[in-house]
C-alpha cells in the first residue's frame, strides 16, 4: 500500500530520529486477516490480547522508544463554532461515519523502518482462536523541525 | 570563557546558568578521572551526574559559595558517591570490589580521556538516538529531564534510553582510537535538533557548539574544526532566522544586521585554519558555503559562483542527492533559474524539498502559475510546520499577485 514517505533528511540523507503515530481504526481500515469482532472472542482470547498490548508497551518503555498510548471511546461528536456569542453547535455521533479511530500509540524511533517494524509487531496481537489479528495500522510521521540544510 | 557564557545565557537567570555551563565544562574531566581510577563507566556516570546536581543546588543560589577548586570538589564528591553506589551493589558485583579497595590516585586527566569519552558516547554499537542522549548526559552534563524535554519524550523513556546506552557501551574496551566521524555525526544531530527546536526549552545548538569547541581542543582533525565553524556560522544567523511568531525567514530575506558578527568572525577564523591543513572534508566544505553567505552584506552580493564550486566539492566528497539538490538551487542563482531547472531535472523528484526547489526556480523564471501550484504541492509534502506554513504562504502570495 502506498509508497514510503520521504522524511526530513540531513546532508548524508540520514533520517533523523522522529516520532510516529501508530493509528488503530475500528472502522475505515482495510479488513484484518483474522477478522472476527472482539465481542465474539472467548474471555481468554481477550485477556491474551490485552496482555500482549501491555507487554508491547512495556517493551517499548524499556527500550526508550515509548512516548504515549491512548484508547479512545467510540462516542465522539462533531463540534463547530456558530459565531460570536453563540454556543458551539454539536452533532452526532454518526453511526455511519466511515472512519472511526480506536486508539493510538506514539513512538520515538531511529528510522522509518523501525516504525514499520513495530507497527507490524503491534498488528500481530492475538485475536480469535489465539491467532494473530494481522490488522492494518496506519503509520504517520510527526512533523519535525526544519534542518540546517533546508536554508 | 566570556564568549561561551553569552552563548549559553538564558535570559531569566543568567548568572546561575553561566555557573552551570562552566560546571558542565568540568564533567568530562571528572568522569575521565573516575574511569581512570578503574570505575566502571555506567556507575561512574551516575555518580558524576549526582555530584553535578548537588553542586548546582549548593552553588547555584546567590547565597551559595563555590569552592576554590570546583573540579576537585566534584571529583571527591563523585568518587564518594561512586563508592556508595558500588558498595550497595557489591554482593552482586564482586568484581567491583577490586575497584574501591584500590586507593584513589590523585586527579589525573588528559586530553585523551575527554576524547575517549566522546568516542564512547558515540560508539557505533549505539543507535543515533542513544548516542545523542548519552553524549548530552555524560559529556554535556545535562540532566535526563533536560534531555527528555528537548526531545519531547517522557523522562522515563529518556532514562531508559540512557541506561540502555550505558549498558551497551560499558563493556567496550577503548584500546584503540574511535572514529571521529561518529562523534561528529552525533554532534551534528544535536545541532540540527537545536537548529529548529525551541531554545527556551533547551538550547541544543549552543550545547552542540560547546561540545564541538571542546572536541576541537582535543584533536587536530581539520574536519572537527570544520564542524565547529559550520555550527558557529549557522548559529550566527539564528537571531534573523525566525520572526517573533516563530515563522521562518529565508536566507535572502533575513535582516543581516541581526547576524552575530562575533560568531561569524570566529567561524571564519576556525575554518581558515582548517582549510590550511589541506585535508578537505564535507564539514569544511559546508562551512565554506556558510562562510560565503556570511560574507555577503546583502543577498545580491552573494558569490553564487564560488558557492556552486563548493557544492561541486561536496558532491564529489559525499555523492549525496540532497547536496545535488542544493547545488541545483545554487546553480539557479549563479547562472539563472533555467540553468537551475536543468540541473534539477537530472535528479530524483522524490527527494525531500525537490518540489519546493522547483517551485522557487519556476518563480524566478516568472512562471507564477506553475510556481504557485508547485508551492502548494510542496506544502502538502512538508515535514515541519514552519516549512509548510512558509510554502503555503508563497503559494497564496503568488496566487494573489495573479488576481490583482
- Note whether A14 contacts B185, CB cutoff 8 Å: yes
Q: Dig out the grid coordinates for B201 from the structure.
A: 526549552
The angle subtended at Cα B110 by Cα B109 and Cα B116, nearest 5°, is 100
Assign A149 a pLDDT band (cuts: 50, 70, 90): very low
pLDDT, position B93: 54
Q: How confident is the model at residue A95 (pLDDT cuts 50, 70, 90)?
A: low
Q: Which residue has the higher pLDDT, B321 or B68?
A: B321
Distance separating alpha carbons of residues B126 and B162, to the nearest angstrom: 11
Cβ neighbour number for residue B330 with a 10 Å cutoff: 24
A15 pLDDT tier (thresholds 50, 70, 90): very low
Instruction: Judge whether A59 is closer than 8 Å to chain B, CB to CB.
Output: no
Q: What is the pLDDT of residues B97-119, one digit of tens each?
A: 444 444 444 445 555 677 888 88
- Which among B157, B159, B192 is the nearest to A148, CB-wise? B192
Q: Which residue in B157, B196, B282 is closest to A66 by CB distance?
A: B157
What is the maximum alpha-carbon separation in chain A? Answer: 57
Residue pair B384/A146 in contact by the 8 Å Cβ criterion: yes
Q: What is the mean pLDDT of residues A37-63?
A: 91
- Cell numbers placing B352: 525531500
Note the pLDDT of residue B103.
Answer: 41
Q: Considering only CB atoms, which chain B residues are within 8 Å of A8?
A: 352, 383-384
The answer to whether B38 contacts chain A (CB < 8 Å) is: no
Average pLDDT of A21-26?
92
Quick check: A67 and B154 CB within 8 A? Answer: yes
User: What is the rounded average pLDDT of the residues A4-9?
Assistant: 39
Q: What is the reported pLDDT for A1?
A: 38
Q: Which of residues 79-108 of A touch B (CB under 8 A)?
A: 108
Could you tell me the CA-to-CA distances from B344 to B102, B325, B353, B394 in Å, in that order? 65, 7, 11, 20
Does residue B65 register a pLDDT over 80?
A: no
pLDDT value at position B369? 95
Q: Three cell numbers at B359?
A: 517551485
Beta-carbon separation of A143 and B382 below 8 A: yes
Calculate the average pLDDT of chain A. Answer: 82
pLDDT of residue B85: 84
Buried b (16+ CB within 10 A) or exposed e, B31-68: bbbbbbbebbbbbbbbbbbbbbeebbeebbeeeeeeee
Chain A residues with CB-CB distance to B352 below 8 A: 6-9
Question: Do the chains contact at B157 and A6, CB–CB below 8 Å?
Answer: no
Q: Is the pLDDT of residue B1 over 50?
A: no
- Over 80: is that where the pLDDT of A92 sits? no
pLDDT of residue B342: 98
pLDDT recorded at residue A74? 79
Is the backbone peptide bond immediately before B382 cis, with ω within 30 degrees of 0?
A: no
- Tell me the pLDDT band of B42, cut-offs 50, 70 and 90: confident
Whether B247 and chain A come into contact, CB under 8 Å, resolves to no
CA dihedral B271, B276, B280, B285 (to 10 degrees): 30
Q: How many helices (H) and strands (E) does chain A have?
A: 2, 6
Q: Per-residue confidence at B360, pLDDT binned at 50, 70, 90?
A: very high
Of the two residues B177 and A106, the one the predictor is more confident about is A106
Portion 86-145 of B in contact with A at CB < 8 A = 127-130, 132-133
Q: Does B162 sit within 8 Å of A150, measured CB to CB? A: no
Q: Quote the minimal CA–CA distance from B71 to chain A in Å.
A: 32
Chain-centre distance of CA B170, in angstroms? 25
Q: Which residues of A touch B388 (CB under 8 A)?
A: 143
C-alpha distance from residue A15 to each of A39, A94, B91, B154, B203 (Å): 41, 40, 44, 22, 22
User: How would residue B28 be classed by pLDDT, with cut points 50, 70 and 90?
Assistant: confident
pTM exceeds 0.90 for this model? no
Picking from B278, B348, B283, B272, the residue whose alpha carbon sits closest to that of residue B310 is B283
Q: State whether residue B157 sits within 8 Å of chain A by CB.
A: yes
Residue A112, chain B, CB below 8 Å: the answer is no
Q: Provide the pLDDT for residue B7.
A: 35
Are the Cβ atoms of A8 and B322 closer than 8 angstroms? no
Q: Say yes or no: ipTM exceeds 0.90.
A: no
Give the tens place of pLDDT for each residue, B247-284: 888 899 999 999 999 999 999 999 999 999 999 999 99
Whether A143 and B383 lie within 8 Å, measured CB to CB: yes
Does residue B5 surpass a pLDDT of 60?
A: no
Lowest-pLDDT range of A67-71, A83-87, B26-30, B191-195 = B191-195
Structure confidence at residue B4 (pLDDT)? 35
For the cut 60, the answer to whether the pLDDT of residue B92 exceeds it is no
Q: What is the rounded distance in angstroms from the CA atom of residue B236 to the CA atom of residue B224?
A: 18
Q: pLDDT at residue B13 above 70?
A: no
Q: How large a percentage of chain B has pLDDT more than 90? A: 48
Whether pLDDT at A62 is above 90 = yes
**A15 or B296, greater pLDDT:** B296
pLDDT recorded at residue B56: 81
Contact assignment for B153 to A108 by CB distance below 8 Å:
yes
A145 vs A19, which has greater pLDDT? Answer: A19
In tens, the pLDDT along B211-253 reads: 999 899 888 999 999 999 999 999 999 999 888 887 888 899 9
B364-402 pLDDT, tens digit each: 999 999 999 999 999 998 888 888 888 999 999 999 988
Chain A residue with CA closest to B188: the answer is A10
Instruction: Give residue-wise pLDDT tens across range B142-171.
Output: 889 889 988 889 999 999 999 999 998 887
Q: Provide the pLDDT confidence category of residue B27 given band limits of 50, 70 and 90.
A: confident
What does the block give as the cell for B5? 557564557
Length of chain A in terms of residues written: 151
Average pLDDT estimate for B328-337: 97
Lowest mean pLDDT among A9-18, A33-42, B295-304, B373-382: A9-18
User: Model confidence at B62, in pLDDT bands (50, 70, 90)?
Assistant: low
Q: Quote the mean pLDDT of chain B.
A: 85
Assign B9 a pLDDT band (cuts: 50, 70, 90): very low
The predicted pLDDT at position B98 comes to: 43
Between positions 278 and 317 of B, the ones with CB within 8 A of A are 282, 286
Which three cell numbers, joined as nine digits, stand for B141? Answer: 552534563
Please provide the size of chain B in residues: 404
The whole-number pLDDT of residue A28 equals: 82
pLDDT digits (tens, 9 = 90+) for B189-204: 889 887 766 666 668 8
Cell numbers representing residue B257 in the block: 544586521
More confident residue, B21 or B39: B39
Closest chain B residue to the Cα of A65, Cα to Cα: B157
Whether the CB of B60 is below 8 Å from some CB of chain A: the reply is no
Q: Is A70 on the interface with B (CB under 8 A)?
A: no
- Tell me, what's the pLDDT at B243? 85
Residues of chain B found within 8 Å of residue A57, distances taken between Cβ atoms: none
Amino acid at each position: 500500500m502506498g509508497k514510503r514517505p520521504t522524511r526530513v533528511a540531513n546532508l548524508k540523507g540520514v533520517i533523523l530520529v522522529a516520532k510516529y503515530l501508530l493509528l488503530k481504526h475500528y472502522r475505515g481500515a482495510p479488513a484484518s486477516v483474522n477478522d472476527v469482532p472482539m465481542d465474539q472472542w472467548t474471555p481468554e482470547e481477550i485477556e491474551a490480547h490485552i496482555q500482549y498490548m501491555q507487554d508491547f508497551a512495556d517493551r517499548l518503555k524499556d527500550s526508550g522508544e515509548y512516548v504515549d498510548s491512548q484508547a479512545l471511546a467510540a462516542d465522539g461528536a462533531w463540534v463547530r463554532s456558530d459565531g460570536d456569542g453563540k454556543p458551539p453547535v454539536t452533532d452526532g455521533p454518526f453511526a455511519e461515519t466511515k472512519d472511526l479511530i480506536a486508539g493510538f500509540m506514539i513512538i520515538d524511533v531511529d528510522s522509518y523502518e523501525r516504525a514499520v517494524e513495530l507497527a507490524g509487531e503491534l498488528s500481530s496481537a492475538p485475536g480469535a482462536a489465539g491467532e494473530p489479528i494481522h490488522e492494518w495500522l496506519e503509520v504517520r510521521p510527526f512533523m519535525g523541525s526544519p534542518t540546517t540544510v533546508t536554508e | 570563557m566570556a564568549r561561551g557564557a553569552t552563548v549559553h545565557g538564558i535570559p531569566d537567570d543568567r548568572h546561575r546558568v553561566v555557573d552551570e555551563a562552566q560546571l558542565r565544562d568540568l564533567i568530562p574531566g571528572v568522569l575521565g578521572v573516575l574511569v581512570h581510577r578503574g570505575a566502571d563507566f555506567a556507575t561512574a556516570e551516575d555518580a558524576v551526574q549526582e555530584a553535578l546536581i548537588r553542586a548546582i543546588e549548593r552553588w547555584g543560589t546567590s547565597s551559595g559559595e563555590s569552592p576554590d577548586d570546583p573540579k576537585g570538589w566534584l571529583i571527591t564528591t563523585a568518587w564518594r558517591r561512586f563508592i556508595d553506589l558500588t558498595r550497595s551493589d557489591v554482593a552482586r558485583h564482586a568484581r567491583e570490589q577490586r575497584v574501591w579497595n584500590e586507593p584513589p590516585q590523585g586527579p589525573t586527566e588528559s586530553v585523551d580521556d575527554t576524547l575517549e569519552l566522546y568516542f564512547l558516547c558515540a560508539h557505533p554499537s549505539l543507535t543515533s538516538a542513544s548516542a545523542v542522549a548519552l553524549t548530552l548526559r555524560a559529556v554535556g552534563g545535562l540532566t535526563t529531564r533536560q534531555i527528555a524535554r528537548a526531545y519531547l519524550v517522557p523522562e522515563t523513556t529518556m532514562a531508559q534510553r540512557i541506561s540502555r546506552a550505558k549498558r551497551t557501551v560499558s563493556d567496550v574496551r577503548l584500546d584503540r582510537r574511535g572514529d571521529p566521524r561518529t562523534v561528529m555525526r552525533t554532534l551534528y544531530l544535536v545541532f540540527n535538533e537545536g537548529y529548529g527546536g525551541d531554545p527556551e526549552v533547551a538550547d541544543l545548538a549552543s550545547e552542540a557548539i560547546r561540545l564541538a569547541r571542546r572536541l576541537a581542543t582535543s584533536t587536530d582533525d581539520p574536519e572537527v574544526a570544520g564542524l565547529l565553524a559550520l555550527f558557529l556560522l549557522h548559529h550566527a544567523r539564528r537571531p534573523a532566522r525566525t520572526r517573533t511568531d516563530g515563522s521562518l525567514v529565508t536566507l535572502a530575506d533575513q535582516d543581516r544586521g541581526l547576524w552575530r558578527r562575533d560568531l561569524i568572525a570566529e567561524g571564519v577564523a576556525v575554518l581558515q585554519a582548517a582549510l590550511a591543513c589541506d585535508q578537505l572534508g564535507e564539514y569544511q566544505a559546508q562551512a565554506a558555503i556558510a562562510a560565503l553567505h556570511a560574507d555577503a552584506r546583502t543577498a545580491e552580493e552573494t558569490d553564487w559562483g564560488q558557492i556552486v564550486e563548493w557544492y561541486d566539492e561536496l558532491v564529489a566528497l559525499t555523492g549525496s542527492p540532497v547536496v545535488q539538490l542544493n547545488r541545483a538551487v545554487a546553480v539557479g542563482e549563479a547562472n539563472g533559474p533555467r540553468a537551475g531547472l536543468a540541473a534539477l531535472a537530472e535528479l530524483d523528484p522524490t527527494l525531500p524539498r525537490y518540489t519546493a526547489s522547483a517551485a522557487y526556480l519556476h518563480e524566478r523564471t516568472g512562471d507564477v502559475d506553475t510556481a504557485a501550484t508547485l508551492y502548494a504541492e510542496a506544502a502538502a509534502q512538508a515535514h515541519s510546520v514552519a516549512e509548510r506554513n512558509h510554502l503555503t504562504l508563497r503559494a497564496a502570495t503568488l496566487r494573489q499577485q495573479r488576481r490583482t
